[in-house]
Amino acid sequence: MSELFDAVDALLASRATLPPPAERKRLRAAHGLTIDEVATALKVRRATVSGWEAGKTEPRPPERDAYARLLDKLAELYPTTPAPAAETVPPPDAPAPAALTAVPAPAQGQPLPTEPTSDAGSVSAPLEPQVPALDLADAPAAARTPASATGPTSTSRRPGAKKAAPAAPPADVADPRFENGPLAVLDVEDGKVLAYCVGGLVLDVPAKSLPSLVEWTLREAKLGQPKLSGPGRPADPLLVLTEAALECYGLPTGLSEDEKDAGRIPEGHKVIKQLVRADWKLTKRGFGPWARIYRPAKGSERQCVQLCIPSWNALDARFWGHAAQLPPAELARVLGTYAMRVMTPRGSTAVTGLELMTALHPPTHAVRDEETGALRQADTKTPGSLGSDPVDCAPCEAPDGHPVLTALDLPRFHVRGPSEKLFEEAYDWARPMTDAECTLRHLVGIDVNMAFAAGANGLNVGLGEPTHVKAPAFDPKLPGSWLVDLSHVDLSRVKAGKEWVELDGSLLPSPFTPKGDHPTGPAWYATPTVAYAQELGYDVTPTEAYVRYDNGRYLDGWYQRLRDAYLATMADLGVTADLPPEDFLTAMDGYKARDPELGIVITAIKATVKGGLGKLRERPRGEGWRPGERWRALERPTWRPDIRAAVISRTRINLHRKIVKHAAFTGQYPIAVLSDCVVYAADGPSPLDILPYRDGKPLPGGFKLGINPGLVKHEGTQTVLWGEGVREQFDAPQLNFARFIKDGTVTAADNGE
């Protein structure tokens, strides 16, 4: 009889009533219990409990009865009004003050040619709206799908997730082709290959070879993203291979020195032979850290999978921090957040920044043939794009060694000066401190948020080839490069609005040169620089120019996408756009430590901005190049040094305008400026000791504390004694403090010794 009673008890336990997933998490947190404590008590894995609270899985006997008993007791201690059915609670173990969120937006478009665009390597940079979001389950709490699930692949999605108004049409968000997210991190556990996806989902991978893995990804994995723009194409799925996954599929876990130099494994490698036998192709860059495996597209159907291999240095530590060392679930969280907010990575952050421009403005679009009714590529470029064909820059815009300079017949070893070459670069300027500044106690550095992104916002740039014009009338709305003498502009007397103001011009950097030196004669400038000379109240008379009559605000969408990604991620870290100045400074103090993984995402977003702009003027990268010859980057429509110059020019001018406003109002002048960082001497250590606020409102047109691009944050503070000490130590009266203000560490190498 007792056996019958036990059987009945087991049946009842298997149907024990459980509260909704959100309530489970609330009850645990209300009693101060951690997921690990609950898992230990129930003798299950931590990920199992996390999956119960996320709603991805349900407990089974005998744990179900014990878990229900625990929740019943907690509900007696902490009763509450049930939450609305549509609500969800942030995932377990989420960092304060907000759980990880991701912006539901369509993914990037792809170019129409049948061969995928090959990746290029990373190069150095030239450098507020509230974002609706979807909750994602905590990645470390991923629950594995049961082995008995129907079919070779089983998915587990959290039911009842709250969906805010998406940034794209709902149809794109709910696209069933990409229901498992943009990417997956592949790892091996207990002899099985597992794919860790965005949101904590884990898939069983049945593929035993790399060709079969590519087939599985395209047919069953449901990975990828919808297109970013109407004429574009959906994003290709991205697979990130851990070292264990590399071994499983016959690939080396690291590259030899020769392979590192080549950037790929040899073409005779057995895995590449497997791909060739299965009719798969690789791009011209071969099988490297960011490999692309494809078959030529048939009609609108694209067959392409991208691989990311962290152990081959695909995730450069300069831009991705320690991401390559993260466990698979955490790495999926980092890359997934970046992919959903920016785009699926296409290579380095620099490559991705450039690809984002193309994705938002695809060069070609499909049209229907009037005779056959079939879709084909249009004969003209997509309006607002750079088109499919590269455009040569003007001679003054060309970097040294560019083939366009050979026609000028310059003497050998000739060094071009400002009247021959466009020098639009970021600031690197410093000056000695005055006696009055030496009596103050602190040096305070402020840094402009996303300065180069803000410089791109609303900027009119050229879309087509340049036109050479002699003695042109300057037009501030016409993008181009202008040869003009600005040496007559006197910074001691400038216009601020409609009124003239008197300043100490000797304490200000010139807005017309990167080093802050006053120009001495005619020089080439981008449109924003010449327009600023007019704004300061001085006439400009160019002698010649290269202008672009085909122009538009090409970078607006690029800026908006990156801005929204930046603000959403900073909000997850507790830094929002509506904080008062004091609260903002407090929130920024150690913000990355609140969630190091999201800190990685922030670093990657910033690197995407600077790297993408740097790619617009990518230099030769070996390959046996000689001066006067074309290099590979020149064959891209996105090789546009004029656009890079215009963005840097506008960024520098934006900064100088604020410096002038600040000096006119407060009488304070910068001691050093480096790119987007400005250093002032002050009595106190806080930015509030130098920034004028009245009734909580900043100086109009001046510096303002805040997280939005173009506003400023605290970069660092050192003492005036420290500053004078390092200048005396290195015998450098104009040592740029802005370079070291963050932590105060200066070495001989930093001073060029």
Provide mean pLDDT across the span 564-571.
Answer: 97
Instruction: Decide if 693 is inside a domain.
Output: no
Q: Mean pLDDT across the chain, nearest whole number?
A: 84
- 446: which strand partners? 678, 714
Gap between the Cα atoms of 304 and 309, Å rounded: 17
**Same structural domain, 74 and 111:** no
If you search the block for the tokens 């001018």, which residue do you land on? 653
Q: At residue 728, does pLDDT exceed 80?
A: yes
Of 514, 529, 552, which residue constitutes the final position of a domain?
552
Beta strands in 535-669 (DSSP E): 544-547, 551-552
535, 660 Cβ separation under 8 angstroms: no
In degrees and rounded to multiples of 5, residue 205 shows phi and psi of -105, 115
Q: Report the greatest alpha carbon distance in the chain.
A: 107
Spatial CA neighbour of 180 closest among 205, 209, 162: 205
Gap between the Cα atoms of 75 and 328, Å rounded: 35
**Same structural domain, 200 and 338:** yes
Provide mean pLDDT across the span 172-198.
Answer: 88
Structure confidence at residue 6 (pLDDT): 59
Pairing of strands 672-674, 202-205: unpaired
Q: At 164, is the pLDDT very low, low, confident or very high (cuts 50, 70, 90)? A: very low
Instruction: Decide if 657 is inside a domain.
Output: no
Percent of the chain residues topping a pLDDT of 70: 83
Q: At 147, is the pLDDT very low, low, confident or very high (cuts 50, 70, 90)? A: very low
Provide mean pLDDT across the span 346-351.
Answer: 95
Instruction: Decide if 582 is inside a domain.
Output: no
Structure confidence at residue 680 (pLDDT): 98
Structure confidence at residue 136 (pLDDT): 34
Structure confidence at residue 30 (pLDDT): 75
Structure confidence at residue 7 (pLDDT): 58
**Ranges 96-100, 219-223, 438-442, 607-611: which has the least confidence:** 96-100
**Same structural domain, 328 and 180:** yes
The CA-to-CA distance between both ends of the chain, in Å, stands at 90
In degrees and rounded to multiples of 5, residue 494 shows phi and psi of -135, 165
Gap between the Cα atoms of 639 and 617, Å rounded: 6
Instruction: Decide if 738 is inside a domain.
Output: no
Structure confidence at residue 543 (pLDDT): 97
Q: At residue 300, does pLDDT exceed 80?
A: no
**Same structural domain, 245 and 191:** yes
Q: At 748, is the pLDDT very low, low, confident or very high (cuts 50, 70, 90)? A: low
**Ranges 93-97, 391-395, 522-526: which has the least confidence:** 93-97
Q: At residue 1, does pLDDT exceed 70?
A: no
**Same structural domain, 285 and 362:** yes
Q: Which residue has the higher pLDDT, 288 or 406?
A: 288
Which residue segment(s) compose the domain that 528 sits in?
395-425+456-552
Q: Which residue has the higher pLDDT, 422 or 110?
A: 422
Structure confidence at residue 3 (pLDDT): 62
**Same structural domain, 418 and 512:** yes
Three-state DSSP string of 572-597: HCCCCCCCCHHHHHHHHCCHHHHCHH
Structure confidence at residue 411 (pLDDT): 85
**pLDDT (tens digit per residue) in 617-667:** 999 987 788 888 999 999 999 999 999 999 999 999 999 999 999 999 999
Q: At 12, is the pLDDT very low, low, confident or very high (cuts 50, 70, 90)? A: low
**Same structural domain, 201 and 312:** yes
Q: Which residue has the higher pLDDT, 166 or 317?
A: 317
Instruction: Decide if 343 is inside a domain.
Output: yes
Instruction: Decide if 583 is inside a domain.
Output: no
Q: Which residue has the higher pLDDT, 118 or 205?
A: 205
Gap between the Cα atoms of 448 and 678, Å rounded: 9
**Same structural domain, 228 and 308:** yes
Q: At residue 284, does pLDDT exceed 50?
A: yes
SS3 527: helix
Q: Which residue has the higher pLDDT, 1 or 683?
A: 683
Gap between the Cα atoms of 508 and 678, Å rounded: 12
Q: At residue 401, does pLDDT exceed 60?
A: yes
Structure confidence at residue 5 (pLDDT): 58
Instruction: Decide if 513 is inside a domain.
Output: yes
SS3 729: helix
Q: At 150, is the pLDDT very low, low, confident or very high (cuts 50, 70, 90)? A: very low
**pLDDT (tens digit per residue) in 666-686:** 999 999 999 999 999 999 999
Of 512, 530, 552, which residue constitutes the final position of a domain?
552
Percent of the chain residues topping a pLDDT of 90: 63
Instruction: Decide if 750 is inside a domain.
Output: no
Structure confidence at residue 281 (pLDDT): 95
Of 517, 552, 587, which residue constitutes the final position of a domain?
552
CATH number of 30's domain: 1.10.260
Structure confidence at residue 165 (pLDDT): 29
Element at 609 (helix H, strand E): helix 596-615
Element at 183 (helix H, strand E): strand 183-189
Most confident of 35-44, 167-176, 460-469, 687-696: 460-469
Q: At residue 116, does pLDDT exceed 50?
A: no
Spatial CA neighbour of 522 closest among 543, 539, 546, 494: 543
Q: Which residue has the higher pLDDT, 264 or 409?
A: 264
Structure confidence at residue 476 (pLDDT): 96
**Ranges 294-308, 320-334, 645-659: which has the least confidence:** 294-308
Structure confidence at residue 376 (pLDDT): 64
**Same structural domain, 23 and 65:** yes
Structure confidence at residue 2 (pLDDT): 57
pTM of the model: 0.78
**Same structural domain, 301 and 363:** yes
**Same structural domain, 108 and 57:** no
**pLDDT (tens digit per residue) in 445-499:** 999 999 999 999 999 999 999 999 999 999 999 999 999 999 999 999 999 878 8
Q: At residue 112, does pLDDT exceed 90?
A: no
Q: In angstroms, what CA-CA distances link 604 with 343, 385, 469, 615, 631?
A: 12, 25, 41, 16, 27
Provide the token pair at 630.
């074309």
Q: How many domains, the chain?
A: 3
**Ranges 260-274, 427-441, 652-666, 728-742: which has the least confidence:** 728-742
Structure confidence at residue 489 (pLDDT): 96
**Same structural domain, 71 and 141:** no
